[in-house]
Amino acid sequence: GIQVEQSPPDLILQEGANSTLRCNFSDSVNNLQWFHQNPWGQLINLFYIPSGTKQNGRLSATTVATERYSLLYISSSQTTDSGVYFCAGPTQGGSEKLVFGKGTKLTVNP
Amino acid sequence: DVKVTQSSRYLVKRTGEKVFLECVQDMDHENMFWYRQDPGLGLRLIYFSYDVKMKEKGDIPEGYSVSREKKERFSLILESASTNQTSMYLCASNDGSRVNYGYTFGSGTRLTVV
């Protein structure tokens, strides 16, 4: 199955700063998703982004499928952005089942 | 909004007990999933169901079984709970179409086996 690697593992920011999180995957994927897990454990789907770029408010994501990576951009970070960000891709081919990276833990300080 | 509801937020069970974790989704999704999340190990897939009565094993099915008798409900069963099954259990669903492929997760059940 595919391997999903995320970097950096930890990130500490001051409120208002911008950041870029990276996700590398070992094989081509047709289903790449980004999630945010808040400090209470709830996982929220941020993007389904097999290729191209999407934006949602201060967050945007870009997947370059041919080069097997995806980036999540957070602009003007807020304390509520704190938590763990996960990317996930299908275990193989067109599988519905996702394998998750280990996550990037983001702390935004006031 | 799609809702995935897990019946319990916290559970404490004794070793050897049979444990049922329930998950219900309200958007007629074909696919439902059970993951467990452990520090240092991340999220790992236990079981996947793509239709009523249909299931596939995930990466770590040992010690677990599942039941999907109705489309909206997917149950995870720990036949004989053990302390190494203490974990956060997360249920998810998606509609399986290419229009909107994203997973929706429930809020999780933190299970402690003593």
Distance of CA B86 to the CA centre of its chain: 14
Domain containing residue A75: CATH number: 2.60.40.10
Backbone angles phi, psi at A71, to 5 degrees: -125, 140
Does residue B2 carry a pLDDT above 70? no
Mean pLDDT of the A16-39 span: 92
Please report, as a single letter, which amino acid is at residue B72.
E
The total of structural domains in chain A comes to: 1
Q: CATH classification of B4-113 is 2.60.40.10, yes or no? A: yes
The domain in which residue A78 lies consists of: 4-109
Q: Which residue has the tokens 């999780």?
A: B108
B-chain CB neighbours of A101 within 8 Å are: 42
Three-state secondary structure string covering B31-82: EEEEEEEECCCEEEEEEEEEECCEEEECCCCCCEEEEEEECCEEEEEECCCC
Q: What is the DSSP secondary structure assignment for residue A67, as one 8-state letter?
A: G
Q: Nearest CA to CA, how far is B57 from chain A (Å)? A: 10
Q: What is the pLDDT of residues A52-110, one digit of tens each?
A: 999 999 999 999 988 999 999 999 999 999 999 999 988 876 677 889 999 999 999 99
| Span B23-42, average pLDDT | 93
